[in-house]
Amino acid sequence: MAASVNASAINVALVGYGYAGRVFHAPLIRATPGLALHTVVSSRPEDVHAELPDVRVVGDVEAMLADPAIGLMVIATPNALHAPLARRAIEAGLAVVVDKPFTVTVAEARALQTLSEDKGGFLTVFHNRAWDADFLTIQQLIRDRRLGRITRFESHFSRFRPQVRDRWRERPGPGAGIWYDLGPHLADQALRVMGRPVALSADIATVRSGGGADDWFHVVMRFADDSRAILHADMMSTTNLRFVVESETGGFVKHGLDPQEDALKAGALPGGPGWGVDPRPGVLTTVDADGRRTEEIVQGPPGDYLALYRDVRDVWSDFSPSIPDHQRPVPLNRAVEVMELIEAGLVSARERREVVLEE
């Protein structure tokens, strides 16, 4: 792999310049020292050059793969293309970052993991919401033992968008809908905090008039100690609840979304002054042995999506096939587990039953 890295930076090819590529990946790649956005694969070169005049644009993946200067390929295409493009990149010897969801099916995810391991390749998934300010705060509270054993973890991601948009995510098709769009983020967060559930129940629906793909889900995960994780998202909500974490010593409640996506949409420089600082920090409520309640506003660490690409740069630069999976920015085992939860949710919603997960 080292032969495909130039003297000063890892050359990156971004495949896809829709919302994810334009708003998330391109700015974050360009703001990460040691990474250079070298090529964009897009059928709309004029749109790319209007914002990135110094970046080469090619019309197909094969033209990009023919360039030996490329070391890392980032896939930000419609979800159904993730698996075939990742396979092609791995076979070509490139390092790969796949936007979430990793794949459309568990079988595809497992096959890519096996292929990457067999080829000794670098593959990871863009679960950037693990670097949201509020989620980093929850992890800090857990590390500092300010929350006891967690009995309920709720992760919500809802917006009020009653009008259906004409875009692939909201039209019928493989990998479309809010469960594939936001479910991986929330499932990844639940796995990081709670571990693997033993079962889940999912209700997935299309509630907006004229909707072509699901735009509402409510999922309950059950764990071996009888604790629960609740994942909820919908496009018809005027509330802004984000997290509820209840434990044996108290709880944490957070409203409002992490500010990084809106900042990226507005063209703010990733990592600049005030980047990722949560304008609406959450509230920690503790209850002592005598039942006395104490409430505290907790301003945790700022959100940091750049950390994911810094990890990609650092791990890939020193990468060898023997590197432990847990040292990847997003371990492949967890990325596959996320897809197992996504697929189990589809089965649960379709068959209207709790799905018991394999150990």
pLDDT reading at 5 higher than 50:
no
Strand intervals (E) in the chain: 10-15, 35-41, 56-58, 72-75, 95-99, 123-126, 150-158, 199-205, 216-222, 228-234, 241-247, 250-255, 282-287, 293-298, 355-356
Q: Find tokens 């705060």 and name the residue.
A: 137
Boundaries of every domain in the chain:
2-126+307-324, 129-303
pLDDT confidence of residue 289: 84
pLDDT digits (tens, 9 = 90+) for 207-218: 999 999 999 999
* Better-predicted residue by pLDDT, 21 or 287: 21
CATH class given for the domain over 2-126+307-324: alpha beta
pLDDT confidence of residue 322: 65
Task: Give the percent of the chain with pLDDT over 90.
Answer: 85
Q: Is 38 helix (H, G, I), strand (E, B) or coil?
A: strand
For the segment 7-35, the average pLDDT, to the nearest whole number, is: 94
Residue type at 281?
P
pLDDT digits (tens, 9 = 90+) for 56-78: 999 999 999 999 999 999 999 99
pLDDT digits (tens, 9 = 90+) for 291-342: 899 999 999 999 999 999 999 999 888 776 667 777 788 899 999 999 999 9
pLDDT confidence of residue 307: 96
pLDDT digits (tens, 9 = 90+) for 171-207: 898 899 999 999 999 999 999 999 999 999 999 999 9
For the segment 86-111, the average pLDDT, to the nearest whole number, is: 97
The listed CATH number (1.10.3710.10, 1.10.10.10, 3.30.360.10, 3.40.50.1820) that belongs to domain 129-303: 3.30.360.10
- Crossing angle for the helix pair 332-351 and 106-119, to the nearest 10 degrees: 170
* Token pair listed for 233: 């998202």
CB atoms within 10 A of CB 314: 13
CB atoms within 10 A of CB 65: 19
Q: How far apart are CA 19 and CA 283, in angstroms?
A: 32
Q: How far apart are CA 233 and CA 15, in angstroms?
A: 28
pLDDT digits (tens, 9 = 90+) for 119-162: 988 999 999 999 999 999 999 999 999 999 999 999 999 989 99
pTM value is 0.93
The pLDDT-based confidence of 167 (bands split at 50, 70, 90) is confident
For the segment 334-357, the average pLDDT, to the nearest whole number, is: 98
pLDDT confidence of residue 324: 73
